[in-house]
Structure 1
């Protein structure tokens, strides 16, 4: 097999694994996502291998192995700097909690192993000579752009309810349509999603939001009402006019895409944060979205007659440079009627004004809290922090050079003024 989409080093090490297995009388194939992505012309990031060899036989053939999932027949084989999951052909018994098989049985027939897989495009194997084994016509479905379950869709989704979210995620990321019977099975079995841990659902949603067509996936989620059956039900009806702009945001800016989704659902920063916390988003991911939505609310409240540049400097200092940059991107995709005059002006000048700022944080000031106390001769207290914030704003807005001399003079001026008051 000549791989065009895989790293040459990884492909070469994987070939060694297959060669060793075959040399000792076992069948061995690349299988699943790596074969699918190669046929699609997409980058191959890892390579799974399926074999007729039993786990103990695999372990005996290679110097470095890890019993990753030995009870289910999976051994991780380490070759060079690469790790390959090598799994024995198997069939699966009943499933526990709509998620994982309670038991597996090892078999010697590759077709039996492929039959247990979720979708036809993932049930394709390929040997060292490049011969394709595709009993469920996954390659045809790839050419036609179809997501189709292997066998009966209801059975596949009953076995593992997360497959319903993966089905939508695959359709979204690949821009494929879902076969009628697969979609019908999803609708009939969607209540099974309640058995799936929220972090597993969130991981699939993250991949969808980082893909090229998140609007397609979100539309399918809305039509299926799948997440209404999750452990934390999601029942919001987002504004389609806002949500339709989500594909205009680069896939590298997932935090902005999430913020647009939350805004389209009418959620405040706090409400969005609460939902994301329940869905096990990291604190960083949650805070990025909250900051954009909070900043958006602040801009909505800006008086058109106020000094917008100074207010913007204050917002950048409060929420941070990256949050301000993300908000500008979020604002740029909103329909005209969703923006006020302040937002329009910030779209025109906000980045320029931010570029003019040469200081963003208190520790960038050329004067410290201990300096303030020493110069003033007063005891420390909350007033020190307030004074430093004042100096930071003056320096960031360009009203004051960030030098110790100028900052000291401004500090003394403020203190004298306060004493007179």
Structure 2
């Protein structure tokens, strides 16, 4: 089997071999090439020691010397080059306490998580596939290398990684691997929430319906405060990926989480997201979408008999409450999906609002706080109140968004 290698990785392997050592591309990049995908990263494994790599290449970064990894800077790209190794005992279910370098590529492949990630390749020797990764790719299976119980005892996060790979690649989890996942699920309690967060986001991004596995193995009881997923809602959340506007991953992920946890109250959702170490921005985005999903005051947008004018008013009010037009699109799309309606008409309204330059935020008003101060209309906290009242008027009467009209209106606001 001949694989096409990135030119930078090919040159690094060539230089290592010229110095008398072995080198192969390894792991996910090999899997991706076999599956006709473009790798995001090119990892290289070698018989050369880290100090050898530092001597061979002019530009290197000692990113992980403890575990045998040196980053080689080649052109504008970075390549992680790691010495063949045998891992010692995993005392913290994360990193081996020590590593032992090896001269045998099979030793290195033996320590890896799944067969589809345990292949190596160079142009001289070809593909090394000791654990039948190609066969599992063809069978569309995620299978542990060797004994699955050992793999999950070494690093419990591999439980979530198995689910994420099944979500990303649309693979099944091999039977014995799944049985081990179920029996070792409590090991995840020893993993930091920061690490769990990263894998969860991958599952939600690629195929949120795989979250049902966490229910089946008992993880939801403690990770999501006992929240039970519904497969129909998880399937619906996947429709976010087809929203007809410029894709914003952070907004899409927030909308998916809001939909997935739409039966959870906002306070509980916020508490859970904080525990899972989501950023303040991500929590805020999710809260805004979730608030719309559970807010009945905006249910008029779901009424098929609503007039175009009233629908535009509803949408401008939603954008105003959320404060961001793109996030608002995801929020409204989510609300329509939950109610099984066709949201396409909403995007016609969005485009109409934008094309006509209609105001939906205070910042869009043709008047500001300085104007109110200079005309002795308001000061202090009253400025914000007056501007909000003006926005309420302009949302219904976009043609009045002129400075002179707004000044006259503001004088009438008590």
Where in structure 2 are there 5+ consecutive unaligned residues?
Answer: 243-248
- TM-score norm. by structure 2 comes to 0.89
Alignment map for 1:150-165 (pairs within 5 Å)? 150-165=145-160
Matched, 1:291 2:282: no
Report deviation, 1:225. 2.2
Q: For the residues of structure 2 that align with 1:345 and 1:52, how far apart are their CA atoms? A: 57
String of CA shifts for 1:197-253, please: whole Å, max 9, x gaps.
Answer: 111111011122222x321x2122222223445xx5542112333223122221752
Which portions of structure 1, spanning 4 or more consecutive aligned residues, are displaced by more than 3 angstroms? 1-4, 299-312, 343-357
Q: Is the 8 A contact 2:208 2:235 kept in 1?
A: no
Matched, 1:246 2:237: yes
Matched, 1:166 2:161: yes
> In structure 2, the residue corresponding to 1:68 is in which secondary structure?
strand
> In structure 2, the residue corresponding to 1:210 is in which secondary structure?
helix
String of CA shifts for 1:38-97, please: whole Å, max 9, x gaps.
Answer: 111222111000000111111111111111110111111111111111110000110021
Matched, 1:87 2:87: no
Q: For the residues of structure 2 that align with 1:328 and 1:130, how far apart are their CA atoms? A: 55
Alignment map for 1:378-389 (pairs within 5 Å)? 380-389=379-388
Alignment map for 1:205-244 (pairs within 5 Å)? 205-211=200-206, 213-215=207-209, 217-228=210-221, 232=223, 234-244=225-235
Report deviation, 1:12. 1.0
- TM-score norm. by structure 1 comes to 0.87
Alignment map for 1:296-315 (pairs within 5 Å)? 296-300=293-297, 309-315=312-318
> In structure 2, the residue corresponding to 1:274 is in which secondary structure?
helix
Q: For the residues of structure 1 that align with 2:23 and 2:366, how far apart are their CA atoms? A: 65
2:143 corresponding residue in structure 1? 148
| Higher mean C-alpha deviation, range 357-366 or range 346-355 | 346-355
Q: Is the 8 A contact 2:87 2:99 kept in 1?
A: yes
Matched, 1:70 2:65: yes
Q: For the residues of structure 1 that align with 2:20 and 2:343, how far apart are their CA atoms? A: 70
String of CA shifts for 1:92-121, please: whole Å, max 9, x gaps.
Answer: 110021111001100111001100000001
Q: For the residues of structure 1 that align with 2:335 and 2:298, how far apart are their CA atoms? A: 15
RMSD: 2.6
Q: For the residues of structure 1 that align with 2:287 and 2:346, how far apart are their CA atoms? A: 20
Q: For the residues of structure 1 that align with 2:149 and 2:110, how far apart are their CA atoms? A: 14
Residues 399 and 17 of structure 1: is their aligned pair in 2 closer, same or farther, counting only changes over 3 Å? Answer: closer
Q: For the residues of structure 2 that align with 1:272 and 1:385, how far apart are their CA atoms? A: 30
Residues 345 and 30 of structure 1: is their aligned pair in 2 closer, same or farther, counting only changes over 3 Å? Answer: closer
Please, which of 265, 268, 273 is the counterpart of residue 271 of structure 1? 268
Q: For the residues of structure 1 that align with 2:224 and 2:392, how far apart are their CA atoms? A: 43
1:369 corresponding residue in structure 2? 369
Matched, 1:202 2:193: no
Q: Is the 8 A contact 1:331 1:347 kept in 2?
A: no
| Higher mean C-alpha deviation, range 59-68 or range 403-412 | 403-412
Matched, 1:322 2:326: yes
1:34 corresponding residue in structure 2? 29
Q: For the residues of structure 2 that align with 1:190 and 1:202, how far apart are their CA atoms? A: 16
Residues 222 and 269 of structure 1: is their aligned pair in 2 closer, same or farther, counting only changes over 3 Å? Answer: same
String of CA shifts for 1:309-345, please: whole Å, max 9, x gaps.
Answer: 5454333212122332112211232244xx8xxx999
2:41 corresponding residue in structure 1? 46
Q: Is the 8 A contact 1:328 1:350 kept in 2?
A: no
Please, which of 311, 318, 331 is the counterpart of residue 335 of structure 2? 331
Q: For the residues of structure 1 that align with 2:277 and 2:345, how far apart are their CA atoms? A: 33
Residues 57 and 352 of structure 1: is their aligned pair in 2 closer, same or farther, counting only changes over 3 Å? Answer: closer
Where in structure 1 are there 5+ consecutive unaligned residues?
Answer: none
> In structure 1, the residue corresponding to 2:400 is in which secondary structure?
coil
| Higher mean C-alpha deviation, range 268-277 or range 15-24 | 268-277
2:246 corresponding residue in structure 1? none
Q: For the residues of structure 1 that align with 2:315 and 2:190, how far apart are their CA atoms? A: 46
Report deviation, 1:361. 2.5
Number of matched residues?
Answer: 398
1:359 corresponding residue in structure 2? 359
Matched, 1:390 2:385: no
> In structure 2, the residue corresponding to 1:100 is in which secondary structure?
coil
